[in-house]
Structure 1
Amino acid sequence: MSLSFLTLGVGDAFSALNYSSCLAVEAEDQVLLIDCPHPIRKMMREASASSGVPMDVDRVAGVALTHLHADHSSGLEGLGYFSFFLLHRKMPLLAHPEVAHRLWEGHLAAGMECLIEKHGADPSPKHFEDYFTHSPLSTESSVRFGPFSIECRRTYHHLPTTALRIRAGGRCLGYSADTAFDEGLIAWLAEADLIVHETNYGVHTPYAKLAALPGELRARMRLIHYPDDFDLPGSVIEPLSQGRRYTV
């Protein structure tokens, strides 16, 4: 099967129109989420309905996490609990060690470190390893995960963040993650067959910078993480459409 992805969300942290940016990448009937915002199951259900592609947590083989901002990671608690209670398995997480460093104590522990496992019992302590497994991504070499080969590169953002190159089925998907405009990152992503790049205000990538790129590169690029007031019809780079499936 070719490399494809279902667009679960295209928005930024402040969007009133769209879900937060998230892709469900598929190859050989295995699904890898890129990031995991809340409400992840609702996002999957609505994308399934609009695309005709069945998608739920039972199909998710793992999550590739780019960084810990809530609009990219707020769904991990629900995903971990669903896997723990309903699927009776741990959810694999793939992240660079700098990204994963504070994932438990700085984000998940407050809601997941105590669990009443039997009615009338006291809460018992829980740890990251009770819900998840961690496969570290590397900026030095690719990491194999099922049919996927994953590479990462640091981006310029407020906290540790990594862009991704995901290969499967002889194709490569590039994902910028959140980043300021970075010519080195653009060159790194340009090796991919299809590039999904963010655009937004602040410490993000201005649309004008991407619009000035060579036409051949723009033709292989799609936009994500755009603000609600982004001029979709006027864009010279195709914005991703929430709920649509794309083939790389």
Structure 2
Amino acid sequence: MKITFLGTAGSMITKSRTNLAVLVDEDLLIDCGEGTSQKLLAILGDLSRIETILISHGHADHIMGITSLLWAMWLSSRRTKDLKIIGPEYIETLVTSLLKLGYTPLDRLTFRINYGFNTFSHENIFFKATLHYPTNFAYRIDRSGKSLCYTGDTAPCEGLIGLAKKCDVLIHEAAFPDELSNLAHKLNHSTPSDAGQLASRANVRILALVHWPDTFEGNESILIDQARKSFDGEIILAKDLDVLEL
């Protein structure tokens, strides 16, 4: 399993990081923040390689790249094969509305979009709703003997322990530093220590922090040290275009 961190920024993009998006191998995309299309095109060359998109939730920093990606899939390759978009129950309405707002009617696309968990049978993909609003899905992907769990946005959530159990890598948000934990939890987000606690309780091998605040660029070791308080395994503070081979 090859994991490419396309975007790792918090809610605010920075000069070096764009919003959330993770590429698994060359066919599965998790979240689609602003800037995703250009990075995918640079890496893959052909956007039609993407077969499935998992969307954690509907906040702008996780989905606003979807319209430009669908547009680019049509224009760059005249895609004809179906695309699967998986997410909470409102995702189909949201994506359709975004396309309409961009004056991109569905009948202009040369491919069909299938939504929901009944659209594939070859993937071992599991999900769990987390503590966030709007509804956020965390995902577990088991593939080729390897596994990853991606939390999306969430406050500390007991239900994620089972989902992440013994994963090779846990990709966990760290939107606030430990000293702002009360605010983080009030806003349904997590800290590095929260991520470390889940990684430890789920007995994962690697913890990769994403969605970390721009104020710590240049001082990344602080966030790693906070996560290390509760997890003694390998910790990665992911940056854009970092690659992790499992």
Whether TM-score is above 0.5 comes out as: yes
**CA 1:79–1:186: 2 relative to 1, 3 Å:** same
223-232 or 162-171, larger mean C-alpha shift = 223-232
Aligned letter for 1:25?
V
Give 1:68-147 correspondences, 5 Å limit: 68-89=58-79, 92-114=83-105, 126=106, 132-137=112-117, 143-145=120-122
What's the offset of the Cα at 1:223?
0.7
Relative contact order, higher structure (CA 8 A, sep 6+): 1
Which of 41, 57, 76 is the equivalent residue of 1:67? 57
78-87 or 160-169, larger mean C-alpha shift = 78-87
What's the offset of the Cα at 1:216?
8.3
What's the offset of the Cα at 1:160?
1.8
What's the offset of the Cα at 1:25?
0.3
**Contact 1:165–1:173 (8 Å) recurs in 2:** yes
For residue 32 of structure 1, what is the aligned residue in structure 2? 28
Q: Are 2:42 and 1:43 aligned?
A: no
Secondary structure (helix, strand or coil) at the match of 1:84 reads: helix
Which of 198, 216, 220 is the equivalent residue of 1:232? 220
Aligned-residue identity in percent: 23
Cα-to-partner distance string for 1:145-166 (whole Å, 9 max, x where unaligned): 4xx3211111111102101111
What's the offset of the Cα at 1:136?
1.0
Q: Are 2:141 and 1:155 aligned?
A: no
Q: TM-score under structure 2 normalisation?
A: 0.77
For residue 195 of structure 2, what is the aligned residue in structure 1? 210
Cα-to-partner distance string for 1:52-102 (whole Å, 9 max, x where unaligned): xx4552332231111121111111111111222332225613313514242
88-97 or 189-198, larger mean C-alpha shift = 88-97
Larger relative strand fraction: 1
**CA 1:164–1:128: 2 relative to 1, 3 Å:** farther
**CA 1:11–1:44: 2 relative to 1, 3 Å:** same
What's the offset of the Cα at 1:169?
0.7
What's the offset of the Cα at 1:182?
0.8
What's the offset of the Cα at 1:183?
2.2
What's the offset of the Cα at 1:190?
2.2
Distance 2:66 2:112 in 1: 10
**CA 1:101–1:160: 2 relative to 1, 3 Å:** farther
Aligned letter for 1:89?
R
For residue 182 of structure 2, what is the aligned residue in structure 1? none
**CA 1:104–1:208: 2 relative to 1, 3 Å:** closer
For residue 195 of structure 1, what is the aligned residue in structure 2? 170
Unaligned runs of 5+ in 2: 177-186, 229-234
**CA 1:6–1:168: 2 relative to 1, 3 Å:** same
Q: TM-score under structure 1 normalisation?
A: 0.77
User: What RMSD in Å do the two structures reach over aligned CA positions?
Assistant: 2.7
Q: Give the aligned length.
A: 221
**Contact 2:19–2:62 (8 Å) recurs in 1:** yes
Unaligned runs of 5+ in 1: 49-53, 115-125
Which of 228, 241, 244 is the equivalent residue of 1:243? 241
Aligned letter for 1:185?
L
**Contact 1:39–1:75 (8 Å) recurs in 2:** yes
Distance 2:167 2:205 in 1: 12
